[in-house]
Amino acid sequence: MAPFVVDRELALQAAGTVHKLLDSDLEVSGQTVRVTASIGIALQELRDTSSTLIRNADSVTLTDSSRQQLDLSHDFLARHPSVSSRQMEASDLDFPDGTVDLVAMVRVMHHLPQPAAVLAEISRVLRPGGCAMIEVANSAHAMNRIRHLVQRKQIPLAAMDTGSRGVIPFVNHHPETVARQFADAGLQVRRQLSVSNLRHPAIKKFIPEKALLAVERAVQERVARTYFGPSMFYLLQK
């Protein structure tokens, strides 16, 4: 089994952002599905949002295409009987139509050059009025806009390859394209947050982690309208 390794700062930022979205006027109840490509980040979210998510939801299901990844959640699941794990593809979720209240998908879109099928599947399993929280690697973040401006190039609207490894794609998505893809799937954006706004090595070198996370959370909503950070979190409603 592969070692359980996760970027601590990334996991904390993801968990904090999910918590902030759950603290909006969204009522979490019924069936919740967490689609994952990184079980470590998913478990960090569940630990940090347990007071809202696990307490209020009737059940939480972790899904991943990798049985090996899901096996890493064994100890956590043993302590949380309302949380289960099931192996399945994000494009083929084994839930009946309109039966899920909330789908959370973090660190997955950057493996999906063509996410339309997955977004349609999320919309299919959500009940009318159900919500999805989706994180997207943002190709139009501030630093990338500066790079392209200096090079006198436009940022492509299509998914941008960021260094795919073998058969596993790694891509960033343009927010304008993602907005259309959400709409095509019948998902309406209710709220968006810009995340990882301060992950530059020079900043992390001089600002303590606790202070960095506090500033990060304070600015996430304010800079989201400019798609400032390299990661965007969306709260969507069917």
Nearest Cα to Cα of residue 210 among 58, 7, 12: 12
CATH number of 8-237: 3.40.50.150
- Give pLDDT tens digits for 169-187: 999 999 999 999 999 999 9
Query: Which run of H or of E encompasses 61?
Result: strand 59-64
Q: What pLDDT is stored for residue 236 in this prediction?
A: 92
The answer to whether 172 and 145 are in contact (CB under 8 A) is: no
pLDDT in tens, 42-51: 665 556 555 4
Q: What is the pLDDT of residue 99?
A: 92
The pLDDT of residue 180 is 98
Structure tokens at 18: 């999910």
Which residues in the chain land under pLDDT 70? 1-30, 36-56, 200
Model pLDDT, residue 198: 80
- Per-domain residue ranges of the chain: 8-237
Position 7 scores a pLDDT of 39
Burial class (CB in 10 A: 0-12, 13-18, 19+), 210: exposed
Dihedral over Cα of 7, 205, 145, 150: its sign: negative
Look up the pTM and report it.
0.84
